[in-house]
Amino acid sequence: MPPPPTQPAAPPLLPVQYQGRRDLLGQVRHRLMAGCARLGLGAGFEAWMFAPDRVVQTYSPVRLDNGEVGVFPGYRVEHSNVMGPYYGGVRFHPEVDLDVITALAILGSWQAALFGVPFGGAKGGITVDPHTLSDGELERLTRRFTSDMVTVFDPLKDIPRPDVSTSEREMSWMMDTLSVNRGYAIPAAVTGKPLAIGGSQLAGEAAGRGVWLALREYERTHGLTIRGSRVVIEGFGKLGRTLAHQLYRDGARVVGVSDRSGGVWQPEGLDIQGLLTHVHTQQQVAGFPGAEPVSEADLLLRPCDVLIPASLSSQITRSNADRVQARLVVEGANMPVTPEADRLLAERGVAVLPDLVANAGGLVVGYFEWVQDNNQLLWTEEEVTARLRSLMNRVWSQVVSRGERDRLSLREAAHAIALERFAEAARLRGFYP
């Protein structure tokens, strides 16, 4: 009997629950393939780099205020621990699914490798609109999800941090739940906590500070002048508010911002102090007086010097990239520009400051918090700021130098450095058994 025909190698198997609402996993695969081809890394490395180490899915029952029981799908994807413990955010959002979570976990591994932080990528989340739940329901949901993940989260294995629609409040509940289950306090179990229970200086501002520092580095090397520049910030959560405050102090004109309630536009520059007060009291951007109301989609297309998408992924796509009027797009969110949009923007001379560099503030300061908790240290705000600035400066210089040497875009250069470091770590550790 003749031997069976040889079959081509199959792509890595992934869970059947992937829905791919935004096809983020496809976008990551596209960029991974391009990066591996550019560096001459083999198909085996590409397949291994794409597949996560572990996928955990839960269904957490929660008693609602009306007496009914809600059941909420939850996820934790651990991509790789080649360079250190898994680390990554936990988000609460109705579009959370395995496609989104896995794509972001992979990017987490690349970002940690780029910045030389000894973590591996992970991401988690719950499929829920948190704005439909009371504070009590949110606390019960957070604690139940954490309890369901009690064998996953561990300060030496997998450390969560805040993400979309989660903050130091949710991190406090998670830390307490893990501590109660273990029988002793574990400050290092999560990062992004309040100072009173082991948090770090700048933890709440880390993501916004990181984007601001990246923009300052771009100013230093690429001739952009922040003072007087017109800036649009799509996404006015904690990152957007911190960033707007910093840019206002630098003399920039923040001409438009948006959140889930809508956007506001003022071509002469918004009153940032007044806007921050309005958002604090009203819990939304919409309704801010003295500004034109606009939709989030329209705000992305308004004329400006710097556009900062800082909400969710896939905000600039092939359907609107040709109408973006900014000179520079700074990716405050994860993957807000799709690969096709990247190409269209480049053809029009619109520069992109990639997410791997721009939104690393949360990763870096989270690592600082973890180090402090594990070693009973307490760094001042000046020390944390100096360390963050130093690391951002070093990585930025490496990315710019690599781009100039190999004639790569900033994104291609950042990916090249990250993949090389990841491949070297994998080579040195080898595979067991």
Is beta strand 120-127 parallel, antiparallel or unpaired with respect to 69-78?
Answer: antiparallel
Question: Which has the closest alpha carbon to 132: 170, 94, 168, 75?
Answer: 94
List the catalytic residue out of 123, 157, 193, 238: 123
Other residues' Cβ atoms within 10 Å of the Cβ of residue 366: 26
Q: Is 92 in contact with 312 (CB distance < 8 Å)?
A: no
- Cβ neighbours for 12, distance < 8 A, ≥ 6 positions apart: 47, 48, 50, 51
Instruction: Please tell me what DSSP assigns to residue 89.
Output: E
Q: Are the C-beta atoms of 52 and 325 separated by less than 8 Å?
A: no
Angle at 17 between CA 16 and CA 19, to 5 degrees: 110
**What's the CA gap between 187 and 299, in Å, rounded?**
40
Cis peptide before 433 (omega within 30 of 0): yes
367: nearest Cα among 159, 212, 196: 159
Is 157 designated active site? no
- Start-to-end C-alpha separation, the chain: 34
Determine which helix (DSSP H) or strand (DSSP E) holds 351, and give its type and residue range.
strand 351-353
The DSSP call for residue 288 is -
CA gap 254, 300 in Å, rounded: 13
Angstrom distance (rounded) from CA 285 to CA 267: 16
- Distance between CA atoms of residues 310 and 353, nearest Å: 13
Distance, CA of 264 to CA of 270 (rounded, Å): 9
Question: How far is 312 from 335, CA to CA, in rounded Å?
Answer: 8
Sheet holding 86-93, edge to edge: 54-63, 69-78, 120-127, 86-93, 158-162
Helix (H) or strand (E) holding 239: helix 238-249
Q: In b/e form, how buried is each residue of 112-142, taking b as 16+ CB within 10 angstroms?
A: bbbbebebbbbbbbbbbebeebeeebbbbbb
**Active-site residues: which are they?**
123
